[in-house]
Amino acid sequence: MKRTLLLAAIALVFMALPKVSLGQASFSHSLGAAYYVSTSTVITENYESTSTIGSPAILYSPRINMVELGREMTVSVGTHLGLGFMLDTNSGSASFAMDLPVVAEINFGHGAHADTRSSVGGYAGVGFGINRLGGGSNFEGVSTNKASGPVLNGGVRALINGVPVGFRLSYLLNMEEGGNVAGIGAFYTFGFR
């Protein structure tokens, strides 16, 4: 029985091998906007409480496609770097965001690599991320959240009226004190038309 399973596994590897390309790695990247939200502890002179904190950011997502799994699928390593700062002079409030995940992703369909022909695609990935969110105002005190831990992310890429765009969701499971971090973003992918 064990020998039959071993032979079946070897045959499966040899059948799948022609579909896997370990050739040249390819680079792709996208640019867009994101919003990150988490719970945090608010500290003022009089009290300490938990609140929700969020901030907008600019999103830059470079990746290297390491393995091609057929014509419409790749495995990549990359990041979705988010940096942002917002200042409201009317209310005296400000917020900042820094999001740095390193993820391994499987990409399929549109945007998987330069030779795909699909008009719709997507990706899903896991990795490790670091996130810092902060904010405050003259009336509410200062609120911050330091987060690091496993991150899950995924999204959809599509060619809409000839423009390569995408939508991203992420969730960081915080291993430090503070809340988990959720992110949402929209982006333009360079080099795919």
User: What are the DSSP calls for 30-81, one per residue?
Assistant: EEEEEEEEEEEEEE-SS-EEEEEEEEEEEEEEEEEEEEEESTTEEEEEEE-E
Q: Is the residue at 43 inside a domain?
A: yes
The rounded percent of the chain whose pLDDT value lies above 70 is 78
Q: Is the residue at 120 inside a domain?
A: yes
- Residue 14 pLDDT more than 70? no
Q: Is the residue at 66 inside a domain?
A: yes
The mean pLDDT value of the chain amounts to 83
* CATH number of residue 165's parent domain: 2.40.160
- For residue 37, what are the domain limits? 19-189
- Give the chain's domain count: 1
Amino acid 17: pLDDT: 45
Amino acid 77: pLDDT: 95
Q: Is the residue at 53 inside a domain?
A: yes
